[in-house]
């Protein structure tokens, strides 16, 4: 099996841009981090693959928050993409309440009415910018494309796929996006749209050993594709043990007193964004608090 990776490419002398992401290890990582079942893996996996495709759209040290809030059983998700090449995120409802496991991987029954929102955090501390649109398709890729069209007036298409084997193990995962630049020739845009719709099942493609180049240079061959960048994108989180320790020590004094006197030993914190578990023995917390100059 080919390793994970992302190919960023241009079509028709820059009239369109896109990226193709092989994310099998990426999806298996987020599944293990959050201890997800198959349905939950499909929802967060598709959300995170789509968020990964936002990485090449960013500049500098920007980050983008992609959120899906719905009144359906799945409730939605919150995922973040960082320009440095990593994604983190979590489901708003885990596990997703279902009476029986789904017979297929059509996710629309688990989504309801709601909103999709995208918040961009530019480098340098400038004010974040948020746009939101109603959920229309109950499909993560199509709803994000709807957001770009309605909120940013940019024609964009997304496609994600995840393949499981008979035991429920993820054996293939990937994502593809294509975006039209202003002034693109309508005939070229139509040709690109037709090619995009002809893409194979991406999860199955990677499960069967396919590579990124065959899709880019085969699917879009009539549009003179050029790969301009190869990069890694991983499911990862900048959280640290020391960072959460600092947050614990910043709790209200009375709350911290109660934790140190009556709390469980050790204190455990789970990062919602990535599922990492950090453990702090009470003796360590007491020493750390005393070191800050605040006595019990």
pLDDT tens column, 187-227? 999 999 999 999 999 999 999 999 999 999 999 999 999 99
pLDDT tens column, 170-182? 999 999 999 999 9
pLDDT higher than threshold 60 for residue 164:
yes
Query: How many angstroms separate the CA atoms of 142 and 159, rounded?
Result: 8
Query: How many angstroms separate the CA atoms of 92 and 71, rounded?
Result: 11
pLDDT tens column, 133-156? 999 999 999 999 999 999 999 999
Q: Could you give the percent of the chain with pLDDT greater than 70?
A: 98
Given this model, what pLDDT does residue 15 score? 96
Question: At CB < 8 A and 24+ separation, what contacts does 278-287 make?
Answer: 278/241, 278/244, 278/245, 280/245, 280/248, 285/245, 285/248, 285/249, 285/259, 285/260, 286/260
Given this model, what pLDDT does residue 124 score? 80
Overall average pLDDT of the 122-136 stretch: 91
Q: Could you give the percent of the chain with pLDDT greater than 90?
A: 86
pLDDT higher than threshold 50 for residue 76:
yes
Given this model, what pLDDT does residue 103 score? 76
Domain ranges within the chain, ordered by starting residue? 5-235, 241-291
For the segment(s) 241-291, the CATH number from 3.40.50.300, 3.40.50.10890, 3.40.50.720, 3.90.1280.10 is 3.90.1280.10
Mean pLDDT of the chain: 94
The token pair at 226 is 């050029």
5-235 folds as Hsp33 domain (3.55.30)
pLDDT tens column, 1-45? 689 999 999 999 999 999 999 999 999 999 999 999 999 999 999
Would the CA dihedral through 121, 141, 152, 116 be positive or negative?
negative
To the question of pTM greater than 0.95 for the whole model, the response is: no
Burial (Cβ within 10 Å: 0-12, 13-18, ≥19) of residue 202: buried
Mention every residue, 6+ apart, whose C-beta is less than 8 A from residue 136.
142, 143, 146
Would the CA dihedral through 216, 153, 139, 50 be positive or negative?
positive
Instruction: Tell me if domain 5-235 and domain 241-291 are identical in fold.
Output: no
Given this model, what pLDDT does residue 295 score? 41
Picking from 86, 68, 66, the residue whose alpha carbon sits closest to that of residue 21 is 86
pLDDT higher than threshold 80 for residue 113:
yes
């Amino acid at each position: 099996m080919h390793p994970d990776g992302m190919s960023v490419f241009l079509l028709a002398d820059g009239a369109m841009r896109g990226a193709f992401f092989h994310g099998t290890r990426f999806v298996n990582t987020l599944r293990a981090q959050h201890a997800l079942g198959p349905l939950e893996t499909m929802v967060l996996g598709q959300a995170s693959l789509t968020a990964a495709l936002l990485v090449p759209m960013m500049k500098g040290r920007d980050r983008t928050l992609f959120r899906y809030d719905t009144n359906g059983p799945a409730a939605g998700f919150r995922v973040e993409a960082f320009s440095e090449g990593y994604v983190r995120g979590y489901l708003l409802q885990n596990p997703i309440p279902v009476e029986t496991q789904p017979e297929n991987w059509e996710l629309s029954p688990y989504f309801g009415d709601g909103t999709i929102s995208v918040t961009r955090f530019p480098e340098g501390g400038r004010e974040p910018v948020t746009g939101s649109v109603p959920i229309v398709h109950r499909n993560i890729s199509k709803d994000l494309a709807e957001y770009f069209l309605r909120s940013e007036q940019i024609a964009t298409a997304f496609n994600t796929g995840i393949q499981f084997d008979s035991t429920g193990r993820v054996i293939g995962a990937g994502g593809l996006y294509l975006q039209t630049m202003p002034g693109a020739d309508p005939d070229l845009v139509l040709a690109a749209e037709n090619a995009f719709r002809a893409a194979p099942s991406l999860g199955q493609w990677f499960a069967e050993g396919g590579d990124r180049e065959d899709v880019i240079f085969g699917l879009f061959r009539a549009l003179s594709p050029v790969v301009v960048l190869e990069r890694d994108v991983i499911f990862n989180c900048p959280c640290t043990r020391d960072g959460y320790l600092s947050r614990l020590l910043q709790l209200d004094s009375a709350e911290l007193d109660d934790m140190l006197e009556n709390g469980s030993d050790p204190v455990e914190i789970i990062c919602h964004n990535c599922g990492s578990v950090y453990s702090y023995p009470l003796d360590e917390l007491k020493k750390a608090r005393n070191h800050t100059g605040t006595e019990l």
